Amino acid sequence: MPSARRYLSVVASASLAVAALAACGSPTDATGSSSTAGSGGSASASADAAACAKGSLKLFKAGTLTVATDKPVYEPWFVGDDPANGKGFESAVAYAIADKMGFAKSEVTWTRATFTTVTSPGAKPFDFDLNEVSITEPRKKAVDFSTGYYDVRQAVVTYKGSPIDGKTTVADLAGAKLGAQVGTTSLTAITDQVKGKASVYDTNDLAVQALKNKQIDGIVVDLPTAFYAVGAQLDNGVIVGQLPSAGGTPEQFGAVLDKGSSLTPCVSKAVDALRADGTLTTLANEWLAKQGAPELK
């Protein structure tokens, strides 16, 4: 993978604009219901507290909180393909959730799981997964999600001088050849919003390589990944712009759990607490620096 030095310079130059990042410090509950302890009064709060007490949790492995993510993982979500080092937004969020649930960093164990296996039905070999998985109604039929920990927008990336470089509207992209990773909301954005010609790839890296080879006109990824692509993966990469939010509810990333997991309300409670005390905002400011990308009309 190319050096991340150019990406780091992008992050440094973007620090002044980071406060505008996707409102991820105060995301709405994409599940449509509140999981905050105490919503039913003091008796309910006591019951919730008891169910989410560390000793009461039904864990994949006793005494250890097992957290999953993909292999490999990249900045700004993780650093050095090492989720256990606490560096990167999602690594830091995982440890913050663990802390709210009563687990020390030494009591967290990481495992690897592919995006497809994480979002498919079936028992999971982990307690929860953080891997930029967007909360969607179809996926909620197969797995549980925590409340959202990050609001995300999709963005179109290309190279200087491409057929879509400089385009300013979604309509301008209608005939473009755009690529995205299989099973992602980025792919859905191509087919439903842009109505472009979708090329499907097993990984974002393969989509980036196709763009480098000029086999496609652009790729669609979430905005933080778009900044990484133009800063560290593409020599002449540019962000065409951000796609409008699809519908009134923002797309969100959530922790993924087994369908019907008893841990779901406890992980959501932790996420809600991190939102309320400002931790999500602090971590977003530290790891997901945002510089301006134009809005596609």
pTM: 0.68
- Cα distances from 43 to residues 40, 54, 70, 205, 294, in angstroms, run 7, 19, 40, 50, 49
Res 21 pLDDT > 90? no
Average pLDDT, the chain: 84
- The reply to whether 127 and 274 lie within a common domain is yes
Domain contains 11: no
| DSSP per position, 206-237 | HHHHHHHTTSSSEEEEEHHHHHHIIIII-TTE
- The reply to whether 160 and 122 lie within a common domain is no
Res 263 pLDDT > 70? yes
Q: Say what the pLDDT of residue 53 is.
A: 95
- The rounded percent of the chain whose pLDDT value lies above 70 is 82
Q: Say what the pLDDT of residue 120 is.
A: 96
- The rounded percent of the chain whose pLDDT value lies above 90 is 68
Instruction: Look at 25-34, 221-230, 255-264 and tell me which has the smallest mean pLDDT.
Output: 25-34
Q: Tokens for 238, please give them.
A: 């540019």
- The reply to whether 135 and 260 lie within a common domain is yes
DSSP H or E run through 2: none
Taking only the tens place, the pLDDT of each residue in 164-189 is 999 999 999 988 999 999 999 899 99
The amino acid present at 154, given as its one-letter code, is Q
Instruction: Look at 82-91, 163-172, 194-203, 255-264 and tell me which has the smallest mean pLDDT.
Output: 194-203
- The reply to whether 141 and 46 lie within a common domain is yes
- The reply to whether 138 and 41 lie within a common domain is yes
User: Residue 116's domain spans which residues?
Assistant: 28-150+253-287
- The reply to whether 54 and 110 lie within a common domain is yes
- The reply to whether 146 and 163 lie within a common domain is no
Domain contains 247: no
Distance, in Å, from the CA atom of 171 to the CA atom of 193, rounded to the nearest integer, reads: 9
- The reply to whether 175 and 108 lie within a common domain is no
Q: Say what the pLDDT of residue 130 is.
A: 98
Q: How many domains is the chain partitioned into structurally?
A: 2
- Give the CA count within 13 Å in the CB-facing half-sphere of 143: 26
